Amino acid sequence: MAKIKIAVAGCLGRMGQEISKQILQNKNLEFLGGFEHNKHKHINKPLNKVSDILSSKLVTANSTQLIKEANVIIDFTTPESTLDNLKIASANKTAVVIGTTGMTDMQKKKVKGYSKKIPILMSSNMSVGVNLLFNLVKQTASALKDTDYDIEIAETHHKHKKDAPSGTALSLGEYAAEGRKAKLNKSKVLDRTKKLTSRKKGDIGFSVTRGGEIAGEHIVSFIGVNDRIDLVHKANNRSIFVSGAIEAAKFISKKKQGLFNLKDIF
């Protein structure tokens, strides 16, 4: 059985490094290499000299060449970089796994457009546990009426994370809204400092904490007059996201085209 050839976008990022290491340890996968933006300080340096990735391959800015050679690209970068990589992948019929968060609705539409030509698996969170939480939130929101229970979503991540709320928190909000047959764009409340108004029925509130090196914590609270239900997921480290990304790469390598998410695997 031929090995699946995988290249990693943003290979020196936190997730990029962990994914690269896992690929190298998997006998069914071949690590083609990784690339970074052309202004990165470690371009053209061996990975094993600038990270703890045990590979002598050079960090390259030539994303086109790696994407052309790969069966799958794993991308945990930025929305702009991901779209650039998708354009190249589409031209070369290369499958893509996207873990990038912070995409706008317009950017997500562009991803969907590329999925008509190549297979793409995109998830705001690659953890199996979080994807289970998505379903639990939807079921709970459906069972508890907005007249009786308010929904609040709290998330905590490391101090380096730029987008807020997290993509996972917004996905949790989407599942909560779907459970109540509502639209998140109409019910989400991201900032309560601009208007001095009381909470409205059906609002889904978000709160954000950034600090330290926390991999990710999410709490969805259903708050009633007499009780409160909390659905919680805490990631102790990034390994759960890495495992999901690797499984996603194996899955998507067998597809011809289409847009998938982690639930399609499990």
- pLDDT tens by residue, 184-204: 999 999 999 988 889 999 999
Give the CATH fold of the 128-235 domain.
Dihydrodipicolinate Reductase; domain 2 (3.30.360)
Q: Given a cut of 80, is residue 266 above it in pLDDT?
A: no
- Of the ranges 65-74, 203-212, 235-244, 248-257, which one carries the lowest mean pLDDT score? 235-244
Q: What mean pLDDT is predicted for residues 235-258?
A: 94
Q: What is the pLDDT of residue 194?
A: 86
Q: CA 235, CA 44: separation in Å to the nearest integer?
A: 33
Residue extent(s) of CATH 3.40.50.720 domains in the chain:
4-122+239-264
DSSP state of 167: H
Identify whether the C-beta of residue 213 lies closer than 8 Å to the C-beta of residue 158. yes
Q: CA 169, CA 151: separation in Å to the nearest integer?
A: 12
- pLDDT single digits (tens) 166-183: 999 999 999 999 999 999
Active site residue 161: yes
Q: Given a cut of 80, is residue 1 above it in pLDDT?
A: no
Residue extent(s) of CATH 3.30.360.10 domains in the chain:
128-235
Q: Is the peptide bond prior to 165 cis by the omega test (within 30 degrees of 0)?
A: yes
pLDDT band at 20 (very low <50, low <70, confident <90, very high): very high
Q: What is the pLDDT of residue 198?
A: 92
Domain 4-122+239-264, second-level architecture: 3-Layer(aba) Sandwich (3.40)
Q: Which of 5, 21, 157, 188 is catalytic?
A: 157
Q: Which of 40, 68, 117, 161 is catalytic?
A: 161
Give 176-241 as a DSSP string.
Answer: HHHHTT--HHHHEE--SSS---PPPTT-EEEEEEE-TT--EEEEEEEE-SS-EEEEEEEESSTHHH
Helix axes 239-252, 14-25, angle to 10 degrees: 60
Q: Given a cut of 80, is residue 217 above it in pLDDT?
A: yes
Q: Given a cut of 80, is residue 39 above it in pLDDT?
A: yes
Q: Given a cut of 90, is residue 96 above it in pLDDT?
A: yes
Q: What is the pLDDT of residue 124?
A: 86
Give kind and range of the element (H or E) at residue 120: strand 119-122
